[in-house]
Amino acid sequence: MNRFALAAAVFSFAITTAVSLTAQTPAVTAPAAPSAPVVATKTAPPAGSTQTIVLWPDGAPGAKGTTEGDIPKLFTYPTASAGPHPSVIVMPGGGYTHLVMEQEGAYEARWLAAHGVQAFVLEYRLAPLYLYPTQSGDVSRAIRYVRAHAAELGVDPGKLGIWGFSAGGSLAGYAATIHSAGDPAAADPIDRLSDRPDFEIVSYGRMDMSVALANGTLPMESILGPHPSQAAIDAIDPVKHVSADTSPSFLYSTTGDKTVDSRNAAKFYVALKAAGVPAELHIFELGQHGTHMGEGLAPAMHELTVTPTLIANWMQLHGWMPADAQ
């Protein structure tokens, strides 16, 4: 072999070897960026409250951290009249991912307090960090806490109601239909008391999971997780748990609500009537989702401004608001 042939052979061998080594050597890739940890959703306190009550001073069950969003709490709105007072725990909406603290919490609490009813706004824990049954557990604890501390809070433990909006309305429906008398053997005295509300007010809440959502998602995915089973949905579907022991209910909705269909309120009312539960239903023609107490809206929805009067009349009928409240 002459030197030219030898050189060609060496060159061919070098190229073949390089290609072979390249094929055997894995490509170097940049390490994947770590995903951001899911943290608790923090909510600004509502305006006008006089006291913040931590429901579990030693830490809430299932807490995943110690930030404000990991700590369920009540914000108090005392009334000036002589007690003991009827009381209401207000539960804001927000799709379980945030809380509409002012329009569906503080506003109503101030209204209640001005009408002789001691009011509280509940900050319950939120998705995606907290899933069911965390939220319903926070509601149960709030009811039991107020009952356990009725004397110091100046409230009547037998006249304790809840008022929920949208997602908070679903929680209200759950508490009104699924509750317990308490555990007499519980180590925590608060857990020995009943978590049944004496009455409930539900403003445009999901009360029947068979009524389709406008956005096409499955019911309660935000707190049950993706693709919940029908059994899981049924377990927290208020209309499926109505009984003679369900709390008396005031239901408010609008035909114009494209987020939570007013058939939720209608079907829940039918179930309440069949079970012999005292109930009142108001479905207005106009009004999108989130009309709050029906005040401060466009002039075309003036009919909704009667809502506070309807609620006051119903509460006074049952002795849950002083008869002389204006």
Kindly report, residue by residue over 61-79, the tens digit of the pLDDT. Answer: 999 999 999 999 999 999 9
The answer, yes or no, to whether residue 4 has pLDDT greater than 50, is: no
At 36 the pLDDT is 60
Residue 288 binned pLDDT confidence (cut-offs 50, 70, 90): confident
State the virtual CA torsion across 168, 170, 175, 178 in degrees, nearest 10: -160
At 215 the pLDDT is 64
Better pLDDT: 224 or 91: 91
Specify the pairing of strand 249-254 against strand 199-203.
Answer: parallel
Better pLDDT: 289 or 19: 289
The residues near 2 (Cβ < 8 Å, ≥ 6 apart) are none
At 219 the pLDDT is 64
Average pLDDT, the chain: 88
At 34 the pLDDT is 52
Candidate from 169-183, 243-257, 267-281, 286-300 with smallest mean pLDDT: 286-300
3-state secondary structure 283-325: EECCCCCCCCCCCCCCHHHHHHHHHHHHHHHHHHHCCCCCCCC
The mean pLDDT of 75-84, rounded to a whole number, is 91
Query: What pTM does this model have?
Result: 0.86
Q: How far apart are CA 283 and CA 302, in angstroms?
A: 14
Please state, for a pLDDT cut of 70, what percent of the chain lies above it. 86
Residue 180 binned pLDDT confidence (cut-offs 50, 70, 90): very high
The answer, yes or no, to whether residue 286 has pLDDT greater than 90, is: no
The answer, yes or no, to whether residue 3 has pLDDT greater than 70, is: no
Contact 203, 193 (CB under 8 A): no
At 7 the pLDDT is 39
The mean pLDDT of 259-285, rounded to a whole number, is 96
Residue 221 binned pLDDT confidence (cut-offs 50, 70, 90): confident
Residue 302 binned pLDDT confidence (cut-offs 50, 70, 90): confident
The mean pLDDT of 147-162, rounded to a whole number, is 97
The mean pLDDT of 39-55, rounded to a whole number, is 89
